[in-house]
Amino acid sequence: MTLLTTWPESGPETVVRRTSEPGEIAAALAPLGVRYEQWPVRDDVPADADSDTVLTAYRAEIDRLTAAEGFATVDVVALHPSDDPGFAGKAKAAREKFLEEHTHDDDDEVRFFVAGSGIFYLHVDGEVHAVLCERGDLLGVPRGTTHWFDMGTRPAFTAIRFFHEEDGWIGSFTGSGISRRFPDFDTIAAQYAEYAEYAEYPA
């Protein structure tokens, strides 16, 4: 279940919106220029599948989006828990790279979640929108949009990335520190099951 939570940029004390309905999420994000779609998932693609397997499985969807949007490169990024002693350090470094608010001046940030989850935080027009993306979700953040991404302290995800520019991911950091004032991935994930239960069995 995907989850959208919106707060005023002043802080998370007041929840402006919280919904898990895909149509409501898409409608709320569209005025921001943010693309939200759900693609059919491939049950025969394991969470830790290699890049070639992932790209082959989703070739039809990749080709459709690439043709429509003119993407120059497509690749796969993955990070999953491991018994490797170096995993904790690798995960921490990867998380910290994206955790501070930034923009992309020359490209959109478009991701499709093949497996696992992560949260994109969009800071637009005086509000912060936290989009918890899971398997089957595609999110497209327009260039110039201030945002950050949190994969949690123990990342577990595989995602397809789309780029218009061959240089790939280049961020311009704002230095605002706003990301530290809002609930992180682990906090929202801990609340996730409680909200999912309420959404399924409302009072």
Q: What is the pLDDT of residue 192?
A: 72
| Residue 187 falls inside a structural domain | yes
| Residue 151 falls inside a structural domain | yes
| Residue 201 falls inside a structural domain | no
Binding residues for Fe(2+): 102, 104, 109, 147
| Residue 54 falls inside a structural domain | yes
Using one digit for the tens of pLDDT, what is the confidence trace for 54-70?
999 999 999 999 999 99
Question: Which pTM value belongs to this model?
Answer: 0.91
Binding residues: 102, 104, 109, 147
Backbone angles phi, psi at 165, to 5 degrees: -105, 140
Q: What is the pLDDT of residue 195?
A: 58
The domain in which residue 132 lies consists of 3-196
Q: Does the structure show a pLDDT above 50 at 79?
A: yes
Task: Indicate the average pLDDT of the chain.
Answer: 91
Binding residues for Ni(2+): 102, 104, 109, 147
Q: What is the pLDDT of residue 59?
A: 97
Q: Which of 4-13, 77-86, 147-156 has the lowest mean pLDDT?
A: 77-86
| Residue 85 falls inside a structural domain | yes
77 confidence band (pLDDT: 50, 70, 90): very high
Using one digit for the tens of pLDDT, what is the confidence trace for 82-113?
878 888 898 898 899 899 999 998 889 999 99
Using one digit for the tens of pLDDT, what is the confidence trace for 26-58?
999 999 999 999 999 999 999 889 999 999 999
Residue 52: CATH number of its domain: 2.60.120.10
**Overall number of domains in the chain:** 1
Do the beta carbons of residue 51 and residue 73 sit within 8 Å? no
Got the DSSP string for 11-40? -TTS-SEEE--HHHHHHHHGGGT-EEEEPP
Q: Does the structure show a pLDDT above 50 at 202?
A: no
143 compared with 171, residue with greater pLDDT: 143
| Residue 185 falls inside a structural domain | yes
Percent of the chain past pLDDT 70, that is, above it, reads 94
Percent of the chain past pLDDT 90, that is, above it, reads 75
Do the beta carbons of residue 107 and residue 127 sit within 8 Å? no
* Full 3-state SS string of 120-176: EEEEECCEEEEEEEECCEEEEECCCCEEEEECCCCCCEEEEEEECCCCCCCCEECCC
Q: Does the structure show a pLDDT above 70 at 203?
A: no
